[in-house]
Amino acid sequence: MKRRELFQTLVAATAGAALLGGDGLALGSTKKSGATTFSTQIQRLQLRHTWTTTMSSSAYRDTLYAQFTRDGITGYGEGAGIVRYQQNAPGGQKALDGVRKLITDADPWQFAKFLTDLDRHLPGQRAALAAVDLALLDWICKKLGVPLYRFFGLDPADAAITNMSIGIDTPEITRQKVREAADFPFLKVKVGLDTDEATIDAVRSVTKKPIRVDANEGWTSKEEAVRKINWLETQGVQFIEQPMPAHMLEEARWVRARVHLPIFADEACHSAEDIPKLRDAFDGVVIKLDKAGGLMEAHRQILVAKALGMKAMLGCMVSSSVTITAAAHLSPLVDYADLDGNLLIANDPFTGVKVDKGKLILPSGPGLGLVKV
Ligand code: MG
């Protein structure tokens, strides 16, 4: 073989190897191809309105972002640290810095096994784990060339209708927020402070549409919870989220026996293993990607809840379109959706899921279907 022919043969062989590693044909293989990188950034998301719940009040949120790049394809992830669980963006970023080599050395096609292992290396950092889970699944689906809903075998036409959340505020601002949410068929109203009646009165002075109420553990006795829930039943409320502190499971059973409205567990439900013991005390569970540690665990929780005859609602933290779009891809599986975190911020770094009168419209591009703004 002449030198020129040998060179051409080598070029062709190299190109073939790169193609094999680069178009998904290497599925199941542990062969590495191209540089694998994993990076994180913290971005400040500015809230449209100061956001107040029983937990905290803030004008912005610092949120953790992750990128997993391999074979020239980048998967994007996000994790919103949850203050109640002592999580924040710098802590999550530090935790992920400590496992970067595990992530870049892993075979991404074994994501289910890998994410289970990674959970053990990130104690107390489920939001950071969620950022990795989302980035890996975005990458996997981009490699396969399918949108995430298709990867889970779901029909985008079944995507849920999301409510719009109204944080705790003065009656005047509450009325303004309710008017701004005119397009949404359902509202979710935050209560749990000593302004509950004034808040609901303000909402009802503007609209008669069905509302959901989230007390965020704010009612501290079972008698107060029963009194508030039975009053809310007269106010066009569909269901109540986490009326009392998460640990008050016995009291939650007592309350449930004395009210008609369905009650959902949020702060009391962290993992699929929690759900069987919540069955007698609650009618449903609220599942969030940040709380669960990503799509894989959230999917597991939805299936466990349904298998136990409980309702499932997908909720969210204040997040950008990365997390909200990822959750929206799972929403064909749930009974209710509270996926409005991206609508609460003014500087979303991505576009993804759209909303039409509350109906979630899933993007059809591969992976999460995100586009950088
Ligand atoms: Mg909640």
Flag whether 11 is in a domain: no
Tens digits of pLDDT across the chain (373 residues) = 444 444 343 333 333 333 333 333 333 333 445 699 999 999 999 999 887 877 778 899 999 999 999 999 999 999 999 999 999 999 999 999 999 999 999 999 999 999 999 999 999 999 999 999 999 999 999 999 999 999 999 999 999 999 999 999 999 999 999 999 999 999 999 998 889 999 999 999 999 999 999 999 999 999 999 999 999 999 999 999 999 999 999 999 999 999 999 999 999 999 999 999 999 999 999 999 999 999 999 999 999 999 999 999 999 999 999 999 999 999 999 999 999 999 999 999 999 999 999 999 999 999 999 999 9
pLDDT of res. 50: 85
What is the 316 CA–ligand 1 centroid distance (Å)?
A: 8
Q: Are 217 and 341 found together in one domain?
A: yes
Residues 6+ apart with CB under 8 A from 218: 54, 191, 192, 193, 243
- pLDDT for 34 equals 67
Give the Å distance between the CA of 172 and the centre of ligand 1: 23
302 in the same domain as 180: yes
Give residue 366 CA to ligand 1 midpoint distance, Å: 30
Identify the domain boundary among 88, 117, 145: 145
Domain-terminating residue out of 145, 161, 193: 145
Do 209 and 125 reside in the same domain of the chain?
Answer: no
Instruction: Say what the pLDDT of residue 298 is.
Output: 98
Examine the domain organization and report whether 171 and 318 are in the same domain: yes
Question: For residue 99, what are the domain limits?
Answer: 37-145
CA 7 / ligand 1 centre spacing (Å)? 63
Residue 33 confidence (pLDDT): 53
Q: Is residue 123 part of a domain?
A: yes
Same-domain pairing of 300 and 323: yes
Residues 221 and 157 in one domain: yes
Distance 22 CA to ligand 1 centre (A): 42
Find the 67 Cα to ligand 1 centroid distance in Å. 28
pTM for the model: 0.89
- According to DSSP, residue 308 is labeled T
pLDDT for the residue numbered 18: 34
In a domain, 166, yes or no: yes
Query: What's the domain count of the chain?
Result: 2
Report the C-alpha gap between 267 and 49 in whole angstroms.
24
Q: How many Å lie between the centroid of ligand 1 and the Cα of residue 242?
A: 7
**C-alpha of residue 100 to centroid of ligand 1, in Å:** 31
* 15 domain residue, yes or no: no
Are 154 and 86 found together in one domain? no
Whole-number Å distance, alpha carbon 84 to ligand 1 midpoint, is 12
